[in-house]
Chain A
Amino acid sequence: NAGVTQTPKFQVLKTGQSMTLQCAQDMNHNSMYWYRQDPGMGLRLIYYSASEGTTDKGEVPNGYNVSRLNKREFSLRLESAAPSQTSVYFCASSGQGWLVSYEQFFGPGTRLTVL
Chain B
Amino acid sequence: KNEVEQSPQNLTAQEGEFITINCSYSVGISALHWLQQHPGGGIVSLFMLSSGKKKHGRLIATINIQEKHSSLHITASHPRDSAVYICAVGRKEYGNKLVFGAGTILRVKS
**A and B from one assembly?**
yes
**A42 to B, closest residue via Cβ:** B100
Number of B residues near A (Cβ < 8 Å) is 29
Among B88, B95, B99, max chain A CB count under 10 A is at B95
Neighbouring A residues of B48 by C-beta, 8 Å: 101-103
**B92 to A, closest residue via Cβ:** A99
In the complex, whether B43 has a CB less than 8 A from a CB of chain A is: yes
In the complex, whether B30 has a CB less than 8 A from a CB of chain A is: yes
Closest CB in chain A relative to B62 CB, distance in Å: 17
Q: Given A97-B30, A103-B45, A107-B42, do A42 and B103 touch, yes or no (CB 8 Å)?
A: yes
Number of A residues near B (Cβ < 8 Å) is 29
Q: Is the CB of B100 within 8 A of A104?
A: no
Neighbouring A residues of B21 by C-beta, 8 Å: none
Residues of A bordering B, CB below 8 Å: 31, 33, 40-45, 48, 50, 58, 90, 92, 94-109
Residues of B bordering A, CB below 8 Å: 2, 4, 29-31, 33, 35, 41-45, 48, 50, 86, 88, 90, 92-103
